Structure 1
Amino acid sequence: MTRDKTKTTNVLVVGTGGQGVITASEILSDVAMLSGFDTKKSEIHGMSQRGGVVTSHVRYSETVYSPMIMEGEADILLSFELAETVRWLHFLQPDGRVISNRQRIIPPAIYAGMGSYPEDAENVIRQRTTDPIFVDALPLAETLGNPRLVNTILLGIASTLLDLPLDQWTAVIARRVPATFKALNLEAFEKGRGIQ
C-alpha cells in the first residue's frame, strides 16, 4: 500500500490477552518511527491476563496529533482472533483491508451462557469487506516450532500492505526478540509475507 506521506495510516490491532497484540503493535510502531514517520500508539489491555479483549491503535504520517483511530478510519484491521475481527469491523474504512487469524478463542462469558460465538464470522467479514486475508496462523506457527510466532506471521502479512521498508521490519524484529529466537521469528515473518 503506497500512500501520500502526509496521509495518516491507521492500523488497528486486536485480539485477546496472551496472543501478542501489544508486541505486534510495538514492532509496527518502531518500524514506522525508524522509517521517518511521526508515530502514535495507544492500547487497551482490558482483562488481558484472563483472555480479555486487547486492542492497540497505531497511526503514522508526517504529523500525527492523536493516537486514537476513529470508527470508519482504519486502513488495516489486523486481528489475532476471528470473533474480534467481527467485533471491530466498524472501525475499518470502506476500502480498508482485514488480516485475520482464523483462531477461535471462546470467552468465559459464552461458557457461562451469556452469548454465543459467531459461527458465520468469516462470511460476515467477507460480506462487509473487500479481499479479506484469512490465515491459520496458529497451526503454521506450531509447524515452525513455536505457537508464539503467530504475531510475527501476521506482521509479515501486514508488511506487504504497508508503505514501510522491508529492511526496517527485519531490523526491528531482530532487535526486539530474544537472540535465540531471532532466526525463527525472521522465518515466521517471511512465511507471513508469502501469504495472500
Structure 2
Amino acid sequence: MKDIKNVLLVGVGGQGIILASKILTTGLIDAGYDVKMSEVHGMAQRGGSVTTQVRYGQKVHSPIIGKGQADVIVAFEKIEALRWIDYLKPDGKIVINDYEIPSATVIAGKERYPEGVIEKIKSLCEDVTVIKAADEATKLGNIKAQNIVMLGGLIKALGIENVDWQKAVRENVKEKFVDLNIKAIETGMQI
C-alpha cells in the first residue's frame, strides 16, 4: 500500500464516469487506502469530454495526475483514449471500451469518425485491454451498465479484486440497480 497508484478515467458526458469513479473511490477507502479524486465535467451534458483522476496509496497529498504519470487509463470511449494517452506512464496500462460516440461534427457530416483508433493506441502502448462493454452490458439487460463493466476491467488491471466491491456498489447505486451493477462489475473483472 506504500506505492501511490494513479488512475485516469476518461470518456464522454453521460457515460457514467463519475459514478464509476465514486464506486472505485468508496471501495478503496473502505479497503484502507488514502484516496484523492478530482473530476472535470467539461461540456458533459452535451457529449463533451469528462475525466476523473483517482490517486490512492498509503498517503496521497494531491488528486492531480500530471502527464506521463497515470498507471492506468480507462477509456469509456475510444477517441478519449487517444486524447489522454500523454498522461500514461511509459509502462502503463490502458483499458479501453471498444465503443464509438460520434461528436457533433461527425453527426453533422462535417467530419468522419477516425478509423483504426484501437490499432493506433496499441502502437503507442504495450499493455492494452479492449472490452466490448456495451455488448456485455446489453447481455446483462441494460447497455447503461457498460460503465460498471469497464470499472470491473479497471479493477482487474489494478489487481484489486479482493476489495468488497459489492458493498461499494450498494453504497453508490440506487437499490433497484444494485444487482445489475454487481453483475456488471463481476463481468468486467472476468474479462
TM-score band, normalised by the shorter chain?
over 0.9
TM-aligned CA distance change 1:91 to 1:167, over 3 Å: closer
Q: Which residues in structure 2 correspond to 1:1-196 (within 5 Å)?
A: 5-112=1-108, 116-164=112-160, 166-195=162-191
CA distance in 1: counterparts of 2:79 and 2:157, whole angstroms: 22
CA distance in 1: counterparts of 2:35 and 2:2, whole angstroms: 12
Moved over 4 A (4+): 112-116
Consecutive unaligned residues in structure 2, runs of 5 or more: none
CA distance in 2: counterparts of 1:140 and 1:163, whole angstroms: 21
CA distance in 2: counterparts of 1:165 and 1:80, whole angstroms: 20
Aligned partners of 1:11 and 1:76 also within 8 Å: yes
Consecutive unaligned residues in structure 1, runs of 5 or more: none
Residue type of the partner of 1:75? D
Shift of residue 54, structure 1, vs aligned partner: 0.3
CA distance in 2: counterparts of 1:112 and 1:183, whole angstroms: 38
Aligned partners of 2:22 and 2:172 also within 8 Å: no
CA distance in 2: counterparts of 1:161 and 1:42, whole angstroms: 21
CA distance in 2: counterparts of 1:91 and 1:114, whole angstroms: 29
Residue type of the partner of 2:18? I
TM-aligned CA distance change 1:21 to 1:180, over 3 Å: same
Return the TM-score normalized by structure 1: 0.92
Partner SS, residue 94 of structure 1 = strand
Residue type of the partner of 1:153? V
Instruction: Report the number of matched residues.
Output: 191
Deviates more, 1:161-170 or 1:49-58: 161-170
CA distance in 2: counterparts of 1:185 and 1:113, whole angstroms: 36
Return the TM-score normalized by structure 2: 0.94
Q: Deviations over 1:71-107 (max 9, x none)?
A: 0010110110000011111110011110010111111
Deviates more, 1:93-102 or 1:139-148: 139-148
Aligned partners of 1:154 and 1:192 also within 8 Å: yes
CA distance in 2: counterparts of 1:167 and 1:38, whole angstroms: 14
Aligned partners of 2:27 and 2:163 also within 8 Å: no
Shift of residue 165, structure 1, vs aligned partner: 5.2
Q: Deviations over 1:169-194 (max 9, x none)?
A: 12101222122221111111111111
